[in-house]
Amino acid sequence: MTIYLNRAQINSALPLVEKGLQQYLWLQSKVGGSNDFHEDAEFRRRFNHFYRVRRATSWQEVFYSLMGRAKSEQLEFPEILGLLQEATNRYEASL
């Protein structure tokens, strides 16, 4: 299904998504920036809030470590999913 929006519709919609879009852009700038973004407490806090991560600290340690590894080693999604499952005994495809 294709959605067509004119400029006026886009301009009226942008203020409604501005806060979330700014949060998303901040997260993406951190991921695209330094290679140690996944160790940054502020990044983790904002990521957890934006994506509503509600897992224990031990799970988060594994997840963020894999996030950093995925970037540095350019891992593919199926491999990351498998590694997360091995480490936590859970499939977390939504993340």
Residue 93 lies inside a defined structural domain of this protein: no
Residue 84 lies inside a defined structural domain of this protein: yes
Residue 21 lies inside a defined structural domain of this protein: yes
Closest to 35 (Cα-Cα) out of 76, 68, 77 = 68
Which of the four pLDDT bands, split at 50, 70 and 90, describes residue 93?
Answer: confident
Q: Domain limits at 29?
A: 8-88
> Number of structural domains, the chain?
1
Residue 17 lies inside a defined structural domain of this protein: yes
Which of the four pLDDT bands, split at 50, 70 and 90, describes residue 86?
Answer: very high
Q: Is the pLDDT of residue 17 over 80?
A: yes
Residue 69 lies inside a defined structural domain of this protein: yes
Residue 49 lies inside a defined structural domain of this protein: yes
- pLDDT, residue 59, reads 92
C-alpha to C-alpha distance for 15 and 22, rounded to whole angstroms: 11
Residue 61 lies inside a defined structural domain of this protein: yes
- pLDDT, residue 95, reads 64
Q: With the C-alpha atoms ordered 70, 73, 77, 83, is the resulting torsion angle positive or negative?
A: negative
Q: Is the pLDDT of residue 80 over 70?
A: yes
Please name the amino acid found at residue 36: D
Residue 52 lies inside a defined structural domain of this protein: yes
